[in-house]
């Protein structure tokens, strides 16, 4: 038994490499096998998942929270676009455009110039006044400047306004 454990530890790296290569070479058949298994056992899998979620509600909350924190930019953009759509305004801003805007401002607030840990998207012309979630209407702002501006146009319009 001890010999087997020693051998397994010695060959663990080569075994992992073999498994990785095997998965790459046989990916289509592996995925087909998984799909077939899921289709044949769908009801049991869904029931098992439901039972687990009911028994461990906190695990689900933690998982959702971790995902939202890891994808905060995507959720922030989604909320801004949804608010624009609800008002019937254009919502063409993409994540790539938002990242380009942040780079253009050197990850600084458009109003005070500070470099906070988290920048928020500020509508130069607020949604309440008809400004949409479009690249030329969005600037990065720190949370305090964004909340102080509220739903009014800025006193000083930021110098850099991207026309992407």
CA atoms within 13 A on the CB side of 66: 6
C-beta of residue 116 within 8 angstroms of C-beta of residue 144: no
Could you list the pLDDT tens digit for every one of the 164 residues in the chain? 788 888 878 888 888 999 999 999 999 999 999 999 999 999 999 999 999 999 999 999 999 999 999 999 899 899 999 999 999 999 999 999 999 999 999 999 999 999 999 899 999 999 999 989 999 899 999 999 999 998 888 877 776 655 44
Residue-level pLDDT at 160: 65
The tokens for 55 are 């028994």
Q: What is the 3-state secondary structure (H, E, C) of 141-154?
A: ECHHHHHHHCCCCC
CA distance 121 to 139: 6
């Amino acid at each position: 038994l001890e010999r087997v454990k020693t051998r397994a530890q010695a060959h663990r790296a080569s075994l992992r490499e073999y498994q990785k290569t095997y998965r790459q070479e046989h990916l289509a058949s592996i995925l087909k096998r998984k799909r077939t298994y899921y289709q044949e056992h769908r009801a049991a899998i869904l029931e098992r998942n439901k039972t687990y979620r009911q028994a461990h509600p906190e695990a689900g909350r933690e998982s959702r929270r971790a995902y939202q924190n890891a994808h905060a930019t995507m959720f922030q953009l989604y909320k801004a676009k949804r608010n624009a759509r609800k008002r019937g305004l254009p919502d063409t801003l993409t994540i790539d455009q938002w990242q380009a805007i942040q780079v253009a401002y050197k990850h600084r607030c458009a109003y005070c110039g500070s470099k906070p840990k988290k920048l928020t998207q500020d509508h130069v012309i607020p949604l309440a006044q008809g400004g949409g979630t479009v690249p030329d209407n969005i600037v990065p702002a720190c949370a305090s400047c964004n909340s102080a501006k509220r739903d009014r146009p800025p006193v000083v319009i930021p110098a850099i306004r991207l026309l992407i």
